[in-house]
Structure 1
Amino acid sequence: MKKVTIGNSDLKVARINFGGNVFGWTLNEKQSFEILDAFIDAGFDFIDTADTYSWWVNGVGGQSETVIGNWMKARGNRDKIVIATKVGSETKEHPNDISKKHILKSIDESLKRLQTDYIDLYYTHFDDEVTPVEETLSAYDEIIKAGKVRHIGASNLSPERLTASFKASEENNLPNYVALQPHYNLVERQNYETKYANLVEQYGLSVMPYFSLAGGFLTGKYRSENDLSKSVRGEGAKQYLNEKGLGVIKALDTVSDKHKSKPATVALAWLLAKPHIAAPIVSATSQSQLQTLFDAPKLNLDAADLELLETASANL
């Protein structure tokens, strides 16, 4: 299995990052274990979660980390897994918060749920836009020195706050972010490509896009409003049911037919062909969906494929 190095870290990962938001939500613990076993058995090793997943179920969160922790304990495989989790996102109980106090409390709670001594990659999930970046980074410095976290990443930070963080890191000898987790896929290109791609290049960040399949839209499952009821996540795809979105689906159909593949596999392969994309974050709830993910790193799109997809998704 080909692996890539995350930023300037010592973390090496296979090129699909499994999104753990489904654990404790659309998958119960037994089903989650089965999916995780299959993912690891196929040679993959990178799992993404967050301290608040799946807060939308009970308003608290932590279910996803708990499931992953129980699975790692049952399998005795912590040393073979690269775990990414996050801090700072809003729940019903508290707003977005990346203060030092909140980070120092949250890391211990995440470690307990995950039943591990350390997190490989710890993300700033959502910025509160109030806490000085120096305070956030000093909290990360403390937990890295304590051995609780190996490296840090950024998710929903503005370009300005991301730039300020790197400046503060350099001026105060504080940890640097090594990864960026943005919203990026074939139907959501503009924000990342116009505001973040240059920063990724400048700071040598590895990129793990979330919503890599646009809430399932890029699987080709949703082609009309009648299809939205096929999944609990179907409503999220409604916004793409327009001329441009359906144009992207048509291009995916063309390329997937050519390669005897699936639209979702092609959409992920397009991401993997982009500069600095290390491992797109994507979930699956069945063995057939998993195979679609497994096939993406093996699919080499040619220049004609990429041009067709680029043209169809331009200005999206």
Structure 2
Amino acid sequence: MKKRTVKNTGLSVAPINFGGNVFGWTLDEKQSFELLDRFFEKGFNFIDTADTYSWWVNGKGGQSEEIIGRWMKNRGNRNDLVLATKVGSETEEHGYDISRKHILKSVDESLQRLQTDHIDLYYTHFDDQQTPVEETLSAYDELIRAGKVRYIAASNVSPERLKESFKVAEEQHLPKYVALQPHYNLMEREGFEKKYAPLAEEYGLSIFPYWSLAAGFLTGKYRNESDLSKSQRGEGVRKYLNPEGLQVLKALDEISSKHHSKPATVALAWLLVHPLITAPIVSATSESQLETLFAAPELQLDHEDLELLNKASDFN
């Protein structure tokens, strides 16, 4: 499988990023290990998690990191993986927290749960809007110098704060973000394409979109309200059950039929054509879902396919 280079780094990743939010939530440890094994066996090497996953299960978080850590230790494959996790969880002091104190504490806790001595890509998960960007970047500088983190990235950071971060990093010789994790898919185009794509081009950022399948809507699993009860995540796609959403599903159905593929595979292949996108982040809870993801880098959409998808999902 052809790997892709994360811009401004020495990291080489397969074009699908396994989203670890399901580990410890909709998948128990045994199921998580089975899917991780299959993912790794097929030549994929990029795993994304966060210190807060899966806090919604018991209010603590860290379960996903713990499962990934035990899997890596058991398989002895840490050096064959590119591992991303995040910081910025809520604290009593001020909600989302990217202060120096919180970052230095959180990274050690993540490293312990992951049973590793370094994180390849460390994200600002949520911006607290009040910590000076200099403080945040200086903390990351400490971590990089200590060898605990290789590179830093951003998610859920406003365009304004992102620009400020690059300005401060340039002026004060602090680490720069190398990647961005935005909300982007066929149902959610406007925010990224208008606000973040220009910044990604300007600063040379690799893009790893989250919710690449619109919380499962782009699999075609949810086509009416009665379908929402099919999974724990069903209610999250209710907002897409409208004429625009059904139009996108119709286009996906047509193209997947043409290529003897699946709607989810087509939706991911559409993302992979985008010149700014390095690897979409996607979760899976079964081997059949994984196979759908594996097929995406192999699917070559033609001009007609892309035109149909772009027209169906146009936000203008």
TM-score (norm 2): 0.99
Q: Secondary structure at the match of 2:152?
A: strand
Question: Which residue matches 2:183?
Answer: 183
Are the structure 2 counterparts of residues 226 and 75 from structure 1 closer, same or farther at C-alpha, using a change threshold of 3 Å?
same
Q: Secondary structure at the match of 1:153?
A: strand
Q: Secondary structure at the match of 1:150?
A: strand
Question: Which residue matches 2:253?
Answer: 253
Are the structure 2 counterparts of residues 93 and 262 from structure 1 closer, same or farther at C-alpha, using a change threshold of 3 Å?
farther
Distance 1:269 1:94 in 2: 40
Distance 1:305 1:216 in 2: 21
Question: Which residue matches 1:211?
Answer: 211
Q: Deviations over 1:3-35 (max 9, x none)?
A: 111121111100000000000000000000000
Question: Which residue matches 2:153?
Answer: 153
Instruction: Report deviation, 1:58.
Output: 1.0
Instruction: Report deviation, 1:90.
Output: 3.0
Instruction: Report deviation, 1:91.
Output: 7.0
Are the structure 2 counterparts of residues 229 and 9 from structure 1 closer, same or farther at C-alpha, using a change threshold of 3 Å?
same
User: Structure 2: which 5+ runs fail to align?
Assistant: none
Question: Which residue matches 2:300?
Answer: 300
Distance 1:140 1:110 in 2: 14
Question: Which residue matches 1:79?
Answer: 79
Following superposition of structure 1 onto structure 2, how do residues 214-293 of structure 1 map, counting pairs within 5 Å?
Answer: 214-293=214-293
Distance 2:152 2:10 in 1: 12
Q: Secondary structure at the match of 2:90?
A: coil
Instruction: Report deviation, 1:75.
Output: 0.3
Instruction: Report deviation, 1:94.
Output: 7.0
* Contact 2:91–2:97 (Cα < 8 Å) also in 1: no
Following superposition of structure 1 onto structure 2, how do residues 48-87 of structure 1 map, counting pairs within 5 Å?
Answer: 48-87=48-87
Amino acid corresponding to residue 140 of structure 1 in structure 2: Y
Are the structure 2 counterparts of residues 240 and 172 from structure 1 closer, same or farther at C-alpha, using a change threshold of 3 Å?
same
Question: Which residue matches 1:33?
Answer: 33
> Does 2:112 align with 1:112?
yes
Amino acid corresponding to residue 81 of structure 2 in structure 1: I
User: Structure 1: which 5+ runs fail to align?
Assistant: none
Amino acid corresponding to residue 72 of structure 2 in structure 1: M
Q: Secondary structure at the match of 2:70?
A: helix
* Contact 1:210–1:281 (Cα < 8 Å) also in 2: yes
* Contact 2:99–2:136 (Cα < 8 Å) also in 1: yes
Q: CA RMSD in A?
A: 1.1
Are the structure 2 counterparts of residues 165 and 215 from structure 1 closer, same or farther at C-alpha, using a change threshold of 3 Å?
same
Amino acid corresponding to residue 146 of structure 1 in structure 2: A
Q: Secondary structure at the match of 2:18?
A: strand
Q: Deviations over 1:239-288 (max 9, x none)?
A: 00000000000000000000000000000000000121000000000000
Distance 1:94 1:23 in 2: 28
Identity %: 73
* Contact 1:155–1:181 (Cα < 8 Å) also in 2: yes
Distance 2:281 2:261 in 1: 19
Distance 1:300 1:94 in 2: 47
Distance 1:92 1:29 in 2: 30
* Contact 1:60–1:91 (Cα < 8 Å) also in 2: no
> Does 2:18 align with 1:18?
yes
Are the structure 2 counterparts of residues 15 and 288 from structure 1 closer, same or farther at C-alpha, using a change threshold of 3 Å?
same
Instruction: Report deviation, 1:89.
Output: 2.7
Instruction: Report deviation, 1:199.
Output: 0.3
* Contact 2:251–2:312 (Cα < 8 Å) also in 1: yes
Instruction: Report deviation, 1:60.
Output: 1.2
Distance 2:76 2:4 in 1: 24
Are the structure 2 counterparts of residues 92 and 264 from structure 1 closer, same or farther at C-alpha, using a change threshold of 3 Å?
farther
* Contact 1:219–1:262 (Cα < 8 Å) also in 2: yes
Distance 2:92 2:59 in 1: 6
Q: Secondary structure at the match of 1:126?
A: coil
